[in-house]
Structure 1
Amino acid sequence: MAAKVDRRGANGAGAIEAKVQEKEIRIREAIILEVLKFRDQPHFPTSFEQSRVLPALQRMIYEGGYPTCIAENKGGFDQLNKTQACALVALVNSWDYNFSAFIFDNIKKMLENPKKKVFMLYPRFIQMILDAKYPELVNSTNHVI
C-alpha cells in the first residue's frame, strides 16, 4: 500500500498515512518536530519577503535569480525554488524557520503529485520517525521493509 495524504486536521495540514508491516502509520508535522529535534516552532515562518531573501542570496554569491521559478525546480536541479531559497538563507543566517513544516509539506507535495512519485523524499528522516514512534516494526539490514 502506498502512502497517502489525509488533509483532515488543523488548517488542512493533516497527516501522511501508510501501512507498514500491517501497522497503520501516521506522520504529522508535530512528530517530525519531536523526532528530528530541529528546535523550530509551529509559528516560525516557512517563507520570507523577497526583499529579505535576495540580499542574503547575493551575499552567498548565488548566481540564479529569485524567485528562480514559479513551480518546483522547472529551471533545473541547480537552481533553488522560492521555498528552498528561504530555507537556505534561514539556515545560513540562523533565522527562525519552520524546518519541520518544510519537510512535511515537501513529502505531502511529492505524494500528491503522481508525476513525482518516482522516489521518496527524506528516507533517513522517515526511518528515524519509524524507529522512534513505531519500535515494534521489524528492521531488516538497517531499514524497514
Structure 2
Amino acid sequence: MFVQAKSSNFDDKHNICCTLDKTLPKMKPFEDVLEFIEKNWIRKALTDTHKCYRAHVESFWNAARYDEDEKTIYSAVKLKDDDGKDIDVEVKFKVEDVRRVLEFKDQDDDPIQVSERLCKVLWFRMRYAGTMNDPSFNNSNLSMSYKFLVHSVIRAWCHRKGGYDVSIGFIMCILTCLLLNRPYNISQVIFNHMVDNVKGEKFLQYPRFVQMLLDDQIKDLPKEAEDELVLEHMDNETLKRL
C-alpha cells in the first residue's frame, strides 16, 4: 500500500506550475508577458502540470547516488513483478535527459554563470525599485508584468523550500539570459541542484521534474490516486497576492 500522509520534507509550493489562463479575473495586469512565455522554449518546464506520486519520488531520492566519473545520477524505483513481489528497477539520468524531457533548448557548452553587472543592468531595465547593493533582489520591487515572470520561474525551478520572494544568483542569471535572448545552460543548473540534493540532506526536491523523468524512462509506472503529491499550482489567488 502507498502511504498517504504528507512527509515533513515535502513542500507543495515547490516546483509548481505557472498559469497562462487569460480568462482568470486577476490575469489582466500580466497579459503582456504571457505571449513571451507561450512562444518561449521555457514553456513546458513552467507550465506542464505533470502529476507526481510520493512512492516514486521518495523511492528515487532515497536510493539516489551520483557517479562523478560518469556524470550520472543512479537510483531505483520500487515496483511489483508478475508474482507480486517487490523489485527495484534501476533508473539513471544525465544532463541530457533533463534537457530532453523538459524540452530545454540549451547546449552543453552554454554558460551557467552571468556577470553580476549584467544582471543588475537587466534588473534596472525591469524597473526594479529596490537597492542595487543587495546580494539578492526582492521581487516585490519589480513592475507588475516582470513580477509575474520572476515569480513563475522561481516557483517552478527553484531548488529550495521557502524564500520564494527573493531572486538569488542563478535565478537572476536565468532571467537575464532569457530576456536578453542569450544562451544559458538551465539543464545543467537543475541537474547540479539534483546532484547537491543527492550528496546532502535529501528532501523531495523537484517532484514534478523527477516524475517526468521517471515516466519517460519507465513506461506504465503504477500510480494510485491517494498517493499523489498535490502541488499548489498558480491560480487566481496567487495572481491576487502578486
Is 2:130 the counterpart of 1:63?
A: yes
Matched, 1:19 2:76: yes
More divergent stretch after superposition (23-32 vs 128-137): 128-137
Amino acid at match of 2:168: N
Counterparts of 1:65-144 in structure 2 under 5 Å?
65=133, 67-68=135-136, 76-114=163-201, 117=202, 119-141=203-225
TM-score between both structures, scaled by the size of structure 2: 0.48
Instruction: Note the aligned Cα RMSD (angstroms).
Output: 2.7
1:8 matched residue in structure 2: 69
1:66–1:82: 8 Å Cα contact kept in structure 2? no
Q: Tell me the SS of whatever aligns to 1:48.
A: coil
Structure 1 gaps of 5+ residues are none
Equivalent of residue 44 in structure 1, options 100, 105, 110: 110
Q: Distance in 2 between matches of 1:62 and 1:8?
A: 45
Once the two structures are TM-superposed, the CA of residue 138 in structure 1 deviates from its matched residue by 2.3
Q: Secondary structure at the match of 1:58?
A: helix
Number of paired residues?
Answer: 133
Distance 2:184 2:169 in 1: 14
Which deviates further from its counterpart, 128-137 or 35-44? Answer: 128-137
Q: Which has the higher contact order (CA 8 A, sep 6+)?
A: 2
Q: Which runs of 5+ in 2 are unaligned?
A: 1-58, 79-87, 137-158, 230-242
Distance 1:82 1:7 in 2: 25
1:134 Cα shift? 1.4
Seq. identity, %: 27
Secondary structure of the residue that 1:131 maps to in structure 2? helix
The offset of 1:139, in angstroms, is 2.8
Q: Aligned partners of 2:182, 2:205: CA distance in 1, in Å?
A: 24
Shift of 1:62: 6.3
Between stretches 89-98 and 23-32, larger displacement belongs to 89-98
Between the aligned partners of 2:97 and 2:104, the Cα distance in structure 1 is: 11
What amino acid does structure 2 have at the position aligned with 1:100? S
The amino acid across from 2:66 in the alignment is: V
